[in-house]
A and B are shown apart, each in its own frame.
Chain A
Amino acid sequence: MEKKIIYEISSLYRDNFRVTGFEFGEGEKSVCIVGNLRGNEVQQIYTCSQLVQKFKVLEKEGKIRKGHKVLIIPSMNPYSMNSKERFWPTDKTDINRMFPGYDLGETTQRIAAGIFEVIKDYKYGMQFASFYMPGKFMPHVRMMQTGFENVEMAKEFGMPYVVLRKIRPYDTTTLNYNWQIWETNAFSIYTTSTTEIDKESAKEAIRGILRFLAKQQIIEYTTHEGYKSSVVTDSEMISVRTKSAGIFDSKVKAGEEIAKGQILAQIIDPLEGEVKENLISPVDGIVFFGHNDPLTYANTAVFKIISGGI
C-alpha cells in the first residue's frame, strides 16, 4: 500500500487542505473508490476506511490480482467535516456540484479538477453517496441514466436493488455523471445512513464491492452470491407524502415489508399532541426510504416504497 496526497492546497490559518489516497496493487488504473465529499457524510468516510482495512489484508495475502491498481480516497473533503459544515466552509459551495472542475476557477472548482485529474482514468469508479433529505435507505447501487450506464454490471454487486435515476440539469456537475461521461463505469453506493454510523449496512456495502471486484477478476475473494438485484427506476418508486407538517412519528423502518392500508407514520400536532394525519401505505411492498427527522414539513416525500415483496 502506498499512502499518497492526491490534492493539497494551503490555507491562511488552517492546516493544509489535503486529500489522501491509499493505493493498492500495481498496473492499470482499475478501481477508484471514494468516501465523503460533504462534511456530514460520516457513514461514507467510515465505510471507506473499513474498506482500506480490507484491502490492507487482501494485499498482504496477495489477493489483489496482478496488473490492477486500486485507489481508495476515504475523504475528499476533510475541511468541511472538521468544521461540521456540509459544504465548503467559506463559500458554502458543494464539491459534488463542481465536476469535472476547472483548474483556473474558484476554490471548489479547483479541488474538483485536481481530484478528477487523478481519478478520471479508472475503469471502475465507486462513490459512497448520500441523499439531501434526512432519512434511511435500503442499501443499493444507484446509477444515472447517461446512456453509458451498465445495468447488468451493477447487478454484480449483489445488493438488493439497482436504482436508475433520470438525469436532471443539476446532476451534470456531479462526480458520478462526469465519471460516466469520461467512460468510467461509475456506481453510487448508498448505505443506510449519512450522519450516523450504521455498521451493518457498511459491511453489506463492503461485501458488495468486494463481490463485484472478484467478479471482475481484480481480487480473489469468496463470499456468498448476494442478492439477485432488482432494477428499479426512481420514477417507479411510490412516494408517500405528508399533507401536513408537525412531529413525525414513524412506525416502520427502511427495509421493512409493509401491507396495503398499513399505517406507516403519524403526524402529531406539536402543540396539542393530537394525531393530525395517518400516513397509509397505498400498496404491499417494501420501505425503500424512510424519513428519520423528528419533524416534517408538509408535501414531503417521507417514504419511498417499492411495490411487491422481496
Chain B
Amino acid sequence: MVKTVASVGLPVDEVLEIKKNRILPEGESDGKKKRISIVTGIHGDELEGQYVCFELIRRIEEHKELLKGIVDVYPAMNPLGIDSITRGIPAFDLDMNRLFPGNKDGDMTEFLASGMIADVDGSDVCIDIHASNIFLTEIPQIRINELHKEKLIPLAKELNVDFIWVHGANTVLESTFAHSLNSRNVPTLVVEMGVGMRITKEYCNQLVDGILHLMETMEIWAGETIEPRKPIISEDADDVTYLNAPTAGVFVPRVKHWEHLKKSDEIGWIIDPLHGKILEKILSPVDGILFTIREYPIVDHGSLIGRLLREEARKE
C-alpha cells in the first residue's frame, strides 16, 4: 500500500511527494503490530538503499504468509536530489541530514523533514541506509552515536554487517534523522555501505539478509533467516586510523578493500599525470584492516584516502 508521507507544491505544475510502501500481513488492515521502517535516499547521490528496498519487498511479497508485522519502506526521502544527482536538496544547497527534526511551520525543507519524522515515529526499529558518498567506498557497517550504544549495539549485531563503529557525540550530528529518532526512543541504526552513485548488489543482498534476520528476532518475520556474521565492534576512537592525502594528485589504489595490511604496506600511489611521476606512495601507518577506501581518484591536500581499523582492535 503506497502512501504519501509528505507533499508540497513546486512552482511549476508539479507536486513533490515523499512516499512509502506499507506492507502488512495477509488479511490485516493497519493493526497494532510491531513495525520496522526502512529509510533511504536522504542524500540524493547514495543509491545502494534503492536495491535494498526493492529486494526486501520482493522477498517479503514472495512469502507474504511469513510476515507477522508491519514493514514500512521509504525509498526516497529526497526525491529531487535523487532525480538531479544531487547529494543535498537542490535549490536550497542544504544537506537534508542536518535539518531534523524539522518544523511543520518551517520552510519547505523543514516542513518535509518534520513530516518524515512524524511518520516514522512509533516504529519499533528504523534502519537508515546510507551509501557513503561518491568519494569513498565503505564495507557494510553500522555507525552508532555513543549516546545510544546500549540500546543499538544488540540490534546492530543482528543486521549481518561486518563492522559496528561507535563514535563520539558531536553537536552537529544532533540534527540528523537518526539522532532525532533515537532521541524519540525509536531505535534507529545508520547503515553505511558501498559507494555513492552506484549499486553494489553483494552488499545490498548481505543487508537484506540481515534485515530479514532482525525482523525474525523481532517476530515480524516467521521465515528462516541466515545466521548473521559476527561484526567487529569498535568503541574506542583510537581504534581507527585516518589516511589523508599528503598532496594533491590522482590516487590509484594498490590494495583491495577490506584487506589486512601490515605496517608500511603500500596502499596506493598519488600520481601526477602531467609529468608521469609518482608524487607520494601511501603506506599503511599501522597493522590493520582497510574498511574505507577512496573510490574517486582526484584528491586535494587532505582528501580522505581511507580508514584503517587497527589490528589490535580487531583482536580484542
Residues of chain A having any CB pair with chain B under 8 Å: 9-13, 86-87, 90-92, 97, 104-107, 109-110, 132-133, 168-170, 172-173, 241, 244-247, 270-271, 295-301
Contact = CB atoms under 8 A, between A and B. Distances in A.
Contact of A110 (B94, B274, B302): B302
14 contacts: A10-B301, A13-B274, A91-B133, A91-B300, A105-B302, A107-B300, A109-B302, A110-B302, A169-B171, A241-B105, A245-B10, A271-B12, A298-B8, A300-B108
Contacts of A300: 107-108
Contacts of A245: 8-11
A247 B12 CA distance: 9
Given A104-B242, A169-B171, 20 more contacts: A9-B301, A12-B250, A12-B274, A13-B274, A90-B298, A90-B303, A91-B133, A106-B244, A107-B300, A107-B302, A169-B98, A169-B172, A170-B175, A245-B9, A246-B12, A247-B11, A270-B11, A270-B13, A296-B11, A301-B107
Identify the interface centre among A13, A97, A169: most chain B CB within 10 Å of its CB: A169
A247 B13 CA distance: 12
A105 B245 CA distance: 9
A92 B134 CA distance: 11
A299 B16 CA distance: 13
A91 B108 CA distance: 25
Contact of A10 (B87, B172, B247, B304): B247
B51 interface: no
B248 interface: yes
A132 B91 CA distance: 10
A235 B310 CA distance: 48
Nearest to A242: B108
B106 A299 contact: yes
Nearest to B106: A299
B10 A270 contact: no
A105 B244 contact: yes
B11 A9 contact: no
A11 B172 contact: no
B202 interface: no
A106 B303 contact: yes
A12 B248 contact: yes
A300 B108 CA distance: 6
Contacts, number: 95
B99 to A, nearest CB: 9
Contacts of B13: 270-271
A87 B95 CA distance: 12
Identify the interface centre among A9, A12, A172: most chain B CB within 10 Å of its CB: A12
Contacts of B61: none
Contacts of B98: 169-170
Interface string B95-138: 00010000001111001000000000000000000000101000
B16 to A, nearest CB: 9
Contacts of B248: 9-12
Ranked 10 nearest A-B pairs via Cβ: A169-B174, A107-B302, A107-B300, A245-B11, A110-B302, A295-B11, A9-B301, A297-B108, A12-B248, A245-B9
Nearest to A271: B13
Contact of A244 (B9, B94, B249): B9
Interface in B167-207: 171-175
B298 to A, nearest CB: 6
B28 interface: no
Nearest to A90: B300
Interface string B126-161: 000000010100000000000000000000000000
B286 to A, nearest CB: 15
B272 interface: yes
A104 B285 CA distance: 14
B94 A132 contact: yes
Contacts of A271: 12-13
B276 to A, nearest CB: 13
A11 B250 CA distance: 11
Nearest to A268: B11
B106 A168 contact: no
A299 B272 contact: no
Contacts of A86: 93
B92 A132 contact: yes
Contacts of A107: 300-303
A310 B242 CA distance: 54
B297 to A, nearest CB: 10
A299 B302 contact: no
Given A11-B248, A132-B92, A299 B12 contact: no
Interface in B280-314: 298, 300-304
Contacts of B175: 168-170
Interface string B244-266: 10011110000000000000000
Contacts of A105: 242, 244, 302
B98 to A, nearest CB: 5
A170 B172 contact: yes
A304 to B, nearest CB: 12
Nearest to A246: B11
Contacts of A13: 274
B247 to A, nearest CB: 7
A173 B94 contact: no
A12 B272 contact: yes
A241 B142 CA distance: 39
Contact of B304 (A106, A299, A301): A106
A176 B135 CA distance: 29
Contacts of B171: 169, 172
A272 B170 CA distance: 49
